[in-house]
Amino acid sequence: MAKRTSDELVATSHVEEIIDDQPRVGITLPKLESAGNVKVDEYEHVTINGETTLVKRGVYVEVTVPVYMQLKNKFPEI
C-alpha cells in the first residue's frame, strides 16, 4: 500500500492504514511520583492485538479509541 504525503509517496502497511482511519481521543495521563530510589516508568504500555502503544505520562497525546478504553480502565480520572 502507499500513501501520498505532499510530493512524496510513502509505503504503509495494511495495519497502519487501519490505525490511521480510526477515530482518536486526546488524553493526558497523570505523572506518577517516584518513591525514594525507585524510578517510575514515564511511559504507559498498552498492547492490543499484538500492537504496542507507548503513552508518555504528563503529555497530551491522541490515541485510538481501543487504547483509550484500556487506559480508562486503569486510570478512571482521565
Each residue's pLDDT, cut to its tens digit, for the chain (78 residues) gives 445 555 666 665 665 555 567 889 999 998 887 777 777 788 999 998 888 999 999 999 999 999 999 999 998 988
Rounded Cα distance between 47 and 56, Å, is 15
Q: pTM for this one?
A: 0.66
Q: Which three cell numbers stand for residue 60?
A: 497530551
Distance of alpha carbon 49 from the chain centroid: 14
